[in-house]
Structure 1
């Protein structure tokens, strides 16, 4: 659309039946707009093809209209993990109608990561950041607070925080997987876990151990870096044991699919010889053979919720703890009763 016919805030306000001030508040993520009204204004703006003049807005309000997401993992792990593209798509769902730009960076945890945050905060290059992959006693909480920029955490930190948190109960999904396998008759279940330094990896492991204890399961845990390669390595370690488990609960789908491949390379039949569950319910897991039983999370919805919370924080909203709906277990063909465990009255499996 040519610049001289580009819809303005006044046009959006007229179409939405609200004041220009309310439209400005909604588009800038500021507090004082009800969720329903904000959604209506954003929908009208998107329908009209409204787009902001970032240069004019930056000069007028002293903001960068950019937010940062620094991912403290190796680029190889990020590239292979389907969570981040879905999460970023959710962030962009919100930012695309509010004129916000996402600045994405990968950094090695530690000094390099801290310098990345300092660089983003310098000269107000970003208005706020999303803190992902929270760690035990996470130093980034204090660092970002000292830098004076708004932030939202994915998960609840284990240290004092003045930022809004947006979290999902990871443990609920792991408990569902363990209970499902226990109900099928499995009594020897392993967990291929994420790094214990990451809070969500630690939470999932703790949930696995509690659920296994509650169901009188022989449990064992192998820690990984969340990569498919390390998931394959952990699977080999478990299957090389004198008494291998009859089921494995993986902490993400990439590792579960890698583990499924390793089991089949060894001549094992999934699920007859080994049941497997994943976490995240990525699309490819539905098309492997056998289709993967997995804990379904809404990464895109999580991204959108985090973006809305960050825009609200930038607008001056008070910090709060936001909890998203619990994950669900999607049962497919990669899980079954353990071989030799036949329910009463049923014929044995040939």
Structure 2
């Protein structure tokens, strides 16, 4: 068994003791006899296992996001997700170490540095690409981590994810049931795994409904890019009567573009957002959205990572699928 695969549970089994006894032994705490402590340390040495920095129930969690600082502040998803992470970390008297970087190489270097200098007990990994090098590279150094992505993308790390394909299908079927025949999608960064999943699901759902599946635009998730994509769609020879967005910020930008072009929402154009942050309720009309509890998602990811640090073998699992919340921005086409 290689060191990065070994957990506190493996040491406990080899030494014939509980995980609590292993924790006492390796952290030099009283409560076990000298022979038992020696047996546990010998088992840990034989397996090549070392405890994470800090107690596994209170350690520092690393979280790296590849975004410009000014853009992160505008993204409701990450604000809610970080809030959920922090709520669980604070409840355990732990700490959240957050860093913004621009490239994947920067993130890999930072994760390696944090782990080798024992700044963190483990990490939450997000924004997986279709072919992402972080899995094998970070697992090789023994970094404990939980991935937020479909397990087909995350390599050796346990994963929690939302079923984006099912949510996209629900969005398309809803708009088609309203009578829309020209439906478009404004997506996020094309190299991200969940963008690939949503793009394929949109194409499949549109073809299943007998509709043109080619009205899709890729962006960087920003409001400016969302506005440009919306303007491109609405000034095309065959403009859509409904648009699905990959986040709320772009949907709000799309609402502004519709007003700029003299289109009424929802009489002339239906708009459907994704994530259902407070932004969706502050617009006029209020935005229909694919809604999920992002704060709870963040908290669940933090709990899962603390479980991994404590020696649990976490099985990949989905969290609740986003559900449709109809509001004033969607209606049958005029």
| 1: CA distance, partners of 2:54 / 2:86 | 24
| 2: CA distance, partners of 1:293 / 1:96 | 33
Please, which moves more after superposition, 109-118 or 181-190? Answer: 109-118
- What is the TM-score when the length of structure 2 is the normalising length? 0.81
- What is the TM-score when the length of structure 1 is the normalising length? 0.78
DSSP-derived class of the 2:90 partner: helix
Residues 1:265 and 2:260 aligned together: yes
Residues 1:295 and 2:259 aligned together: no
| 1: CA distance, partners of 2:229 / 2:245 | 10
Residues 1:325 and 2:320 aligned together: yes
Compared with structure 1, are the counterparts of its residues 160 and 167 closer, same or farther at alpha carbon in structure 2 (3 Å cutoff)? closer
Compute the displacement of 1:63 (Å).
9.6
Compute the displacement of 1:191 (Å).
0.5
Contact 2:115 2:143 survives alignment (8 Å):
yes
Compute the displacement of 1:61 (Å).
5.5
| 2: CA distance, partners of 1:121 / 1:60 | 13
Compute the displacement of 1:122 (Å).
2.4
| 2: CA distance, partners of 1:184 / 1:63 | 49
Q: Give the number of aligned pairs.
A: 287
- 2:174 aligned residue: 180
Match of 1:227 among 222, 226, 240: 222
Compute the displacement of 1:228 (Å).
0.9
CA deviations on 1:227-251 (whole Å, 9 max, x unpaired) are 1110000001101101111111111
CA deviations on 1:105-164 (whole Å, 9 max, x unpaired) are 111123222221122112211010000111111111122112212000001243572221
- 1:102 aligned residue: 96
CA deviations on 1:75-95 (whole Å, 9 max, x unpaired) are 232111011111111112211
DSSP-derived class of the 1:80 partner: coil
| 1: CA distance, partners of 2:77 / 2:242 | 24
- 2:16 aligned residue: none
| 2: CA distance, partners of 1:176 / 1:136 | 23
**Aligned pairs (5 A) from 1:190-229:** 190-219=184-213, 220-229=215-224
CA deviations on 1:26-77 (whole Å, 9 max, x unpaired) are xxxxxxxxxxxxxxxxxxxxxxxxxxxxxxx998859982110000122232
Contact 2:53 2:120 survives alignment (8 Å):
no
Compute the displacement of 1:173 (Å).
1.8
